[in-house]
Chains A and B, each alone.
Chain A
Amino acid sequence: MPSSRTIAPEIQYASLAQQGETAQIGMWVFLVNETLFFGALIFTYFLYRLSYPSEFAVAAKDAVLWCGSTNLVLLLTSSLTMVLAINAAAQGRRSEMVAWLIATLALGFLFLGFKGYEYFEDVRDKVVPGLNFEMKPGEAPAGELFWVFYWVATGLHAVHLSIGIGLILYMLLWRIRRGEITPTYYAPLEVVAIYWSFVDAVWLFLYPCIYLVGRS
């Protein structure tokens, strides 16, 4: 077991195992809060979608389907690489763990790249509410609300994903380099992974809301 540092639990914990387990529960509890946060947004989306079904359907046709779909594949794959990294951490295969984490990072950056390109297309398509918006035929004022949801939801999701990227970088450049992630104590990495998977799961809900509903 190559452990370059001995890690002691903080004073409020009886053991390192308790500390790790508690950290994971802390992240789950935090995700309850995040679920309500995104849930409130998705609730407003459905409220308006049900009020203005045809306007929303017209507006949603301008969403760039292939970008969203590619991003769905990228993010789901990144959850797999994340789990493989944890698996490697649990078995003490350090270089393999680092490789999978770098793969996860790369997929995250690719997602942001595609998202950025999609935003560029959206700006060209004049679907930025308030700033650069051109109403399409049949869209009526309510169509703008679809795009408000689109920008708020994907923007907040991108912020969350960027935080996830920051956390992985922190793991790679600080915790792992200092030898603080060992087969006996890799809970910090698991906490990051739980968060990362939640950000994926958010996309699982946003993707059909934005790209699929009402598209025949």
Chain B
Amino acid sequence: MSIAAFEPGAEPAADVESSNYLTARNTIASWLLTRDHKRIALLFMASITFFFFVGGFAATLMRMNLATPGGLLQPSVYNRMFTMHGIIMVWFFLIPSIPATLGNFFIPLMIGARDLAFPRVNLASWYVFNLSGLVVLFALVMGGADTGWTFYTPLSTEYANGYVFAAAMAVFINGFSSIMTALNFIVTIHRLRAPGMTWMRLPLFVWGVYAVSVVMLTATPVLAMDTFLLAVERFLGVGLFDPSRGGDPLLWQHMFWFYSHPAVYIMILPGMGVVSEIIPCFARRPVFGYAGMVVALMAIAVLSFFVWAHHMFVAGISIYAGVVFSLMTFFVAVPSAIKVFNWTVSLHKGAILFDAPMLYALGFVLLFTLGGITGLMLATLAVDVHVHGTYFVVAHFHYIMVGATVSAFFGGLHYWWPKITGRLYPEIWARFAAILMYFGFNLTFFPQFVLGYLGMPRRSYTYPPEWQSWNLLSSAGASILAVAYLMPLLYLGWSLIWGRRAGPNPWRATGLEWTIPSPPPSGNFEHTPHVALGPYSYDPERGRYISQDGTSHAV
């Protein structure tokens, strides 16, 4: 075993400049026609960042409107804002967020491959994503849809006004992009692992993306068929979902949630993977219960398919179905809790470093726990009848989808930023943004739990004056959150030019991606690595860590 001490910026700068994936060939065509998974990841990064701010703009208008009971927007405009906020944030930011950017960039690097299995499919996925993005922007600019992101019938059929069909088609086309990305990851993880990279040596991020890919691949086609049938109903005027003509309006909801409940796990599973990378690295401890973490990830993926009707407890499904779906929902809490326990125990006796990625990861665990526990309350039939369709639900799923997933996304972005760009970000600013995001988030969404419990319905543009103080708190929190989301844009952008050079392994982490230069060369690995051991071989007592290729390093 060779021993290499970490020295930042030790390699000659000119060497790095001439050979990495960013500088290899730098024409517009070389980017737009690239097959390099790292470049495609950056293309995705640009697209989803754009949509994040479009969706965020809609949210800003909503929170401004709700700051006063009288409101600011016309009711119909408010309806369109929450609909477009939901559609854009779910399909155009959260679902592709971690898999298509960090996953695309790091899956091949972490398993020791030179690219994904199907690079052209990967590029096509980006183009299809942008096509669907153009369609959703068209729907937005023309006036938007007002059905809510769930497109419930008959709001989306008989009573549809606005550009419901265009928005639904955007979702339909977007699904092809998800499917292509998922297919690529599944095949890549099955076939392109480096010698010695057995399934139980895979980093947990790879497992997280694998689990999410399986869910994406099997859930998305059902939504595709559902929206296709919606289009048939709209265009031909038949009654697939219309009870007066023999159709069943609940069928839409069943098929929609058969996709969209797993979609919630599509958003959270990769975040769990990211956090499982960050916590051992910054606690300098092996992750506790690796096998349990893997089983928990796959168990969540499988169970996610058997809980969809818990969205429909008050929609008129049978009480027996309600009991079964309630029970299944409780089962999902078991693997989720295993993960939270294991992350927590991984910290025990660690030499914890509170760098920005770690702050985001710890924020993730706390927010995920709160979102998960309120999820159990919602899974309880009797409680759900009380709080269904209120701000309690809004707060619950924002804790999971925004609090947890976006924290994980930013954590992963900071953790891997030195590898992606070759530069270190300014640590102080990043820590400040991470803490600000945590407090801004809680200030925005915790009051919504209270409001929901008091009975404030979601999707309402107005409310009685006695609820104003809670709403005002929430709007104030949203403005803090907005600042915390904008800050990384500034200091990460700054670091691209003025940041310190990172060197190959600034965090002294063990994954294969840290054994190659930053930014990585076009072909990733000069020689296919041989994997000698599992991930997370950190040893704080003796001040050492061992990379997955078997080289031991002194801290």
Tell whether, in the assembled complex, residue A41 and residue B246 are in contact, meaning their CB atoms are under 8 Å apart.
Answer: no
Tell whether, in the assembled complex, residue B238 and residue A22 are in contact, meaning their CB atoms are under 8 Å apart.
Answer: no
**Which one of B186, B218, B248 lies within 8 Å of A47 (CB-CB)?**
B248
A41–B128 alpha-carbon span in the complex (Å): 24
A48–B241 alpha-carbon span in the complex (Å): 11
Q: A34-B221, A41-B225 are in contact. Are A21 and B246 (CB under 8 A)?
A: no
Residues of B within 8 A of A13 (CB): 192
Stretch at the interface among B62-70, B226-234, B379-387, B466-474: B226-234
Tell whether, in the assembled complex, residue B246 and residue A37 are in contact, meaning their CB atoms are under 8 Å apart.
Answer: no
Tell whether, in the assembled complex, residue B218 and residue A26 are in contact, meaning their CB atoms are under 8 Å apart.
Answer: no
**Which one of A11, A39, A55, A148 lies within 8 Å of B240 (CB-CB)?**
A148
Stretch at the interface among B116-124, B369-377, B435-443: B116-124
**Which one of A12, A21, A41, A152 lies within 8 Å of B108 (CB-CB)?**
A12
Q: Does B8 contact A (CB under 8 A)?
A: no
Instruction: With both chains docked as a complex, state the minimum distance between the C-beta of A131 and any C-beta of chain B, in angstroms.
Output: 6
Tell whether, in the assembled complex, residue B238 and residue A130 are in contact, meaning their CB atoms are under 8 Å apart.
Answer: yes
Instruction: With both chains docked as a complex, state the minimum distance between the C-beta of A150 and any C-beta of chain B, in angstroms.
Output: 12
Tell whether, in the assembled complex, residue A47 and residue B251 are in contact, meaning their CB atoms are under 8 Å apart.
Answer: yes
Residues of B within 8 A of A26 (CB): 117-118, 121, 183, 187
Using CB atoms, name the residue of chain B closest to A140: B246
Q: Say whether chain A's binding surface is mostly helix, strand, loop, or mixed.
A: helix
Tell whether, in the assembled complex, residue B255 and residue A40 are in contact, meaning their CB atoms are under 8 Å apart.
Answer: yes
**Which one of B113, B221, B244 lies within 8 Å of A36 (CB-CB)?**
B221
Tell whether, in the assembled complex, residue B117 and residue A22 are in contact, meaning their CB atoms are under 8 Å apart.
Answer: yes
Enumerate A136-152 residues with CB–CB distance to B below 8 Å.
140-142, 144-145, 148, 152
**Which one of A40, A51, A52, A130 lies within 8 Å of B236 (CB-CB)?**
A130
Tell whether, in the assembled complex, residue B246 and residue A48 are in contact, meaning their CB atoms are under 8 Å apart.
Answer: yes
Type the 1/0 row for A35-74, where 1 means its CB is closer than 8 Å to any CB of B: 0110111001001100110010000000000000000000
Using CB atoms, name the residue of chain B closest to A18: B191
Tell whether, in the assembled complex, residue B226 and residue A145 are in contact, meaning their CB atoms are under 8 Å apart.
Answer: no
Instruction: With both chains docked as a complex, state the minimum distance between the C-beta of A24 and any C-beta of chain B, in angstroms.
Output: 10
Instruction: With both chains docked as a complex, state the minimum distance between the C-beta of B96 and any C-beta of chain A, in angstroms.
Output: 17
Residues of B within 8 A of A120 (CB): none
Tell whether, in the assembled complex, residue A33 and residue B239 are in contact, meaning their CB atoms are under 8 Å apart.
Answer: no
Instruction: With both chains docked as a complex, state the minimum distance between the C-beta of A41 and any C-beta of chain B, in angstroms.
Output: 5
Residues of B within 8 A of A22 (CB): 117, 187, 191-192
Tell whether, in the assembled complex, residue B117 and residue A152 are in contact, meaning their CB atoms are under 8 Å apart.
Answer: no
Tell whether, in the assembled complex, residue A33 and residue B218 are in contact, meaning their CB atoms are under 8 Å apart.
Answer: yes
Using CB atoms, name the residue of chain B closest to A131: B236
Instruction: With both chains docked as a complex, state the minimum distance between the C-beta of A160 and any C-beta of chain B, in angstroms.
Output: 13
Q: A33-B179, A33-B218, A47-B251 are in contact. Are A11 and B246 (CB under 8 A)?
A: no
Residues of B within 8 A of A33 (CB): 179, 183, 217-218, 220-221
Tell whether, in the assembled complex, residue A152 and residue B239 are in contact, meaning their CB atoms are under 8 Å apart.
Answer: no
Type the 1/0 row for B191-227, where 1 means its CB is closer than 8 Å to any CB of A: 1100000000000000000000000011111101110
A39–B218 alpha-carbon span in the complex (Å): 11
A40–B221 alpha-carbon span in the complex (Å): 8
Q: Does A8 contact B (CB under 8 A)?
A: no
A13–B187 alpha-carbon span in the complex (Å): 12
Instruction: With both chains docked as a complex, state the minimum distance between the C-beta of B151 and any C-beta of chain A, in angstroms.
Output: 16
Q: A34-B221, A130-B237 are in contact. Are A44 and B183 (CB under 8 A)?
A: no
Residues of A within 8 A of B217 (CB): 29, 32-33
Residues of A within 8 A of B18 (CB): none
**Which one of A11, A30, A51 lies within 8 Å of B183 (CB-CB)?**
A30
Using CB atoms, name the residue of chain A closest to B235: A130
Q: Does A129 contact B (CB under 8 A)?
A: yes
**Which one of B114, B115, B225, B232 lies within 8 Å of A148 (CB-CB)?**
B232
Using CB atoms, name the residue of chain A closest to B114: A12
Type the 1/0 row for B242-266, where 1 means its CB is closer than 8 Å to any CB of A: 0011111001000100100000000
Using CB atoms, name the residue of chain A closest to B236: A130
**Which one of B113, B222, B246 lies within 8 Å of A12 (CB-CB)?**
B113
Q: Does B344 contact A (CB under 8 A)?
A: no
Q: A22-B117, A141-B246 are in contact. Are A148 and B238 (CB under 8 A)?
A: yes
Tell whether, in the assembled complex, residue B190 and residue A12 are in contact, meaning their CB atoms are under 8 Å apart.
Answer: no
Residues of B within 8 A of A34 (CB): 221
A205–B183 alpha-carbon span in the complex (Å): 25
Tell whether, in the assembled complex, residue A12 and residue B251 are in contact, meaning their CB atoms are under 8 Å apart.
Answer: no
Q: Does A204 contact B (CB under 8 A)?
A: no
**Which one of B218, B225, B245, B255 lies within 8 Å of A141 (CB-CB)?**
B245
A33–B115 alpha-carbon span in the complex (Å): 23
Residues of B within 8 A of A106 (CB): none
Residues of A within 8 A of B523 (CB): 11
Q: Does B528 contact A (CB under 8 A)?
A: yes
Q: Which of B186, B217, B225 has the most CB of A within 10 A?
A: B225
Instruction: Apart from A26-B183, A44-B240, list 11 A-B contacts with CB within 8 A.
Output: A22-B192, A30-B183, A33-B179, A36-B221, A37-B224, A40-B258, A44-B225, A51-B248, A141-B246, A145-B247, A148-B232
Pick 19 A–B contacts, CB within 8 A, sort by A.
A11-B115, A11-B523, A12-B119, A13-B192, A22-B187, A22-B191, A26-B118, A26-B187, A33-B221, A34-B221, A37-B224, A40-B255, A44-B255, A130-B236, A142-B245, A144-B238, A145-B238, A145-B239, A152-B228
> A residues bordering B, Cβ < 8 Å?
10-14, 18, 21-22, 25-26, 29-30, 32-34, 36-37, 39-41, 44, 47-48, 51-52, 55, 129-131, 140-142, 144-145, 148, 152
> B residues bordering A, Cβ < 8 Å?
108, 113-119, 121, 179, 183, 186-187, 190-192, 217-222, 224-226, 228-229, 232, 235-240, 244-248, 251, 255, 258, 523, 528
**Nearest 4 Cβ contacts at the A-B interface:** A130-B236, A142-B246, A37-B221, A12-B115
